[in-house]
Structure 1
Amino acid sequence: MDTPLTVVDVRGTPEQMGLAYGESAAGPIKENVVAYLGRFARTAGLDRAAVAARGAAFGETTRGHFPRLAAMLDGVARGAGVAPSLIYAINARSELLYGDPACGSPGGSGAGGEQGECTSLGVVAPRSAGGRTLLAQNWDWHPAHRDVNLLLVTEDERGHRVAALAEAGMLAKAGLNSAGVGVCVNLLGCDRDGRPGGVPYHVLLRSVLEADSLSWAIRNAMRAPRSASINLLVGQAHPAGGEVIDLELVPGEAGWLHPVDGVLVHANHFEAPLPVYDTIKDWGGSSLFRSARARRLLSAYPDPLRLQDLRAVLEDHHSHPVSICRHADERDAEDDRSETIWTILMDLDVRTITLVAGPPCSGSEGTTVAI
């Protein structure tokens, strides 16, 4: 897969960074907004006016809880020449597509797909080579959205740097920062989804990367109100050995998981004992075996684990095409088709992120950026 990686590197205050981001990526941002307006209409029955209204509401919650991130998003809107409500709407695309249980679930939009499929891995000492803290994931999404993704690199006026994969106009997906904090993400779904008043999914993700410690990353994620379920695998490097934790966050509730023998893995179903109904029970799918299989594959490596070992696990094809290394399944409806469009590999100790376009079995070395 030879999809070129666009890198947007901006500096300054949140407003300045947002404005520069919007100006640099105006074309892809507008393209992404148009694409999601179509998906919102087809999947959730939301026309442009309804999307704008929902986006404006998400803008208010963002300003109330994360004013610096709101300033950045407002700058993105100005720089790209897009209505702010639509920028907030695409940052809340998970809520608009899946936040209402009546509109679908992490199992897809109701036609049997698995749009929520992602697999995240975390490894710490003593299981990791050199005692490093490693994160990796496959991000599985509709292949039509691959070309409007970018690597967003920012440095604010305090010197805090962030590098994150992002859909154009959004603030983050998986990524890491100059404090050695990193995050991977998996979609979840439960019967509490759809509550009003939440912070957008991708703003919540970015708030983790704004933190200068694992403690504050957890605080930012857990204190924010939520309208949709989200899973965050968060870690931070440390000279004496790093740490990772998995947070299963739903509206009004939270659960967490710790590494076992230095390994932590998550897919798209709940594993902590939360008092919610996991909507994957209505859909089934590969999540029910992917996390267990990834743990078993990792345990088969006798030597300390390296990033290339994590990638090898993410290339696994058991149950192809609906496997850890996901490929589009032509039996799914067009809007439900999904494949691994990016693989993300992060070494939090040396502050590097590697992005591989397409399913990781492609053989591409990917692009590595250090911050």
Structure 2
Amino acid sequence: MSESTSPIGWQRAGGDPRALGRALGRAGRRAVHERLLPSPLWARINDPGHHRALARMAETTRRHFPRVWAEIEGLAEGLSLPVEPVFAWNCRGDLLASVPDGCTTLVVPGARPLVAHNEDGLPFFAGHCFMFEALPDHAPGFTAFCYPGSLPGHTLAFTGRGMVQAVNNLRLTGLAPEVPRMVLGRAVLDLAGVEEALALLRRHPRSGGFHFTLAEAAGGAIVSVEFGGGEVSVEEVVTPRVHANHALHHARGLAHQIITDSSRERQRRGDELLEEGVREPLALLHDRQGSGLPILRLDPDDPDHENTLATAVMQPGPDGVAWCVHDRPGAAPAYAGHLPHRPSPGDG
């Protein structure tokens, strides 16, 4: 890995799930206490009216995803907060149809496919996010972009088994979720590959809305997965594709979702650039030349309260994942490297 001074930090941790969670919590503690806790969004998420839904999702998480629950407990310890509000924060997209989790993903299939991703989030977290290199005791590990107070697996990540994950928010309405979408995203990072990830999502379809782009080094299909509200829709990506923050093939989502002006315009502009033959990831994801709201989001008055905090380019191949992360347009990558395949713990 090469690295430079960057507002995006780098954290490395290993051990059991609780130890990983504590490391995540310590890395984000200051920003959570100074930026997040005073925010109106934190208060909305922790409204007592969500108690029944949170109790239901907590029970499901403890029963089906005990390692993730232990990581959440460790996260709360590291943040010096009770577990209940920390868990609620990690259920924000299940409790509210619209939360400030944006993002745009570009996929270019090929012999060495390319998955590129703008991570768009709360502007007050600029300078407080970090890359998290995880070496758990039960899986080959992963590297993920992390927000203070949040689990990995809902932004962008690449794993020691050669899988790439890029995540977009879907604003589905009328849900009664049983399992948090961010718990599913975190669980995917410990799996062997795309087929295992799809099987997991199909076992637990009643969540908030997410879109995953999943690709792997083994040469399997690149898939666009829209899920939530009891439905999992999967399409193989065989031509270049852009995805913003609304469902494009999820039947329930097409009928019951919120499409913001920004999401609509980013999708339209991305499709327009692809039609013009643009394939270079930064040329597309850092575009601000369209007639509507831009793909690259730098406006402090962004209507969805989101700014682009990082752009990643990830390329899975037979030898692992080549990757780089940019923290600003027009500059060299803040971090770049190659993650080779790692054996599973216990492999001889």
**Contact residue 22 and residue 29 of structure 1 kept, 8 A:** no
Deviations 1:189-226 (A, max 9, x none): 23333x142x2232221122111111111122232243
* Change beyond 3 A, Cα 1:4–1:160: same
- Please report the RMSD computed on the Cα atoms of aligned residues, expressed in angstroms: 2.8
Residue matched to 2:168: 186
**Alpha-carbon distance in structure 2 between the residues aligned to 1:270 and 1:288:** 11
Q: CA deviation at 1:236?
A: 0.9
Q: CA deviation at 1:274?
A: 0.6
* Residue 269 of structure 1 pairs with residue 246 of structure 2: yes
* Residue 154 of structure 1 pairs with residue 125 of structure 2: no
Q: Please give the secondary structure, in 2, of the residue aligned with 1:26.
A: helix
**Contact residue 254 and residue 274 of structure 1 kept, 8 A:** no
Q: CA deviation at 1:313?
A: 1.0
Note the 1:61-210 alignment, pairs <5 A: 61-96=60-95, 98-99=96-97, 105=98, 115=100, 117-125=102-110, 131-172=111-152, 173-193=155-175, 195-197=176-178, 199-210=179-190
* Matched residue type, 1:274: A
**Contact residue 14 and residue 156 of structure 1 kept, 8 A:** yes
**Alpha-carbon distance in structure 1 between the residues aligned to 2:108 and 2:338:** 19
Instruction: Considering fraction of residues, name the structure with more helix.
Output: 1
Deviations 1:32-57 (A, max 9, x none): 65155x3143xx4x556556776555
**Alpha-carbon distance in structure 2 between the residues aligned to 1:235 and 1:117:** 21
* Change beyond 3 A, Cα 1:321–1:292: closer
Q: What are structure 2's unaligned runs of at least 5 residues?
A: 340-348
- Percent identity over the alignment is 25
Q: CA deviation at 1:6?
A: 1.6
Aligned with 1:17 (options 17, 20, 23): 20
**Alpha-carbon distance in structure 2 between the residues aligned to 1:17 and 1:185:** 21
**Alpha-carbon distance in structure 1 between the residues aligned to 2:212 and 2:281:** 18
**Contact residue 207 and residue 221 of structure 1 kept, 8 A:** no
Q: CA deviation at 1:69?
A: 0.9
**Alpha-carbon distance in structure 1 between the residues aligned to 2:221 and 2:302:** 41
Q: Give the TM-score taking structure 2 as reference length.
A: 0.83
**Contact residue 241 and residue 274 of structure 2 kept, 8 A:** no
Structure 1 moving runs of 4+ over 4 Å: 46-57, 299-302
Note the 1:1-371 alignment, pairs <5 A: 3-31=6-34, 33-35=36-38, 38-41=40-43, 44=44, 49=48, 55=54, 57-96=56-95, 98-99=96-97, 105=98, 115=100, 117-125=102-110, 131-172=111-152, 173-193=155-175, 195-197=176-178, 199-238=179-218, 241-261=219-239, 263-272=240-249, 274-276=251-253, 277-280=255-258, 284-298=260-274, 300-301=276-277, 309-319=280-290, 322-328=293-299, 330=301, 332=303, 336-349=304-317, 350-358=320-328, 361-371=329-339
Quick check: 349-358 or 266-275, which moved more?
349-358
**Alpha-carbon distance in structure 1 between the residues aligned to 2:87 and 2:273:** 39
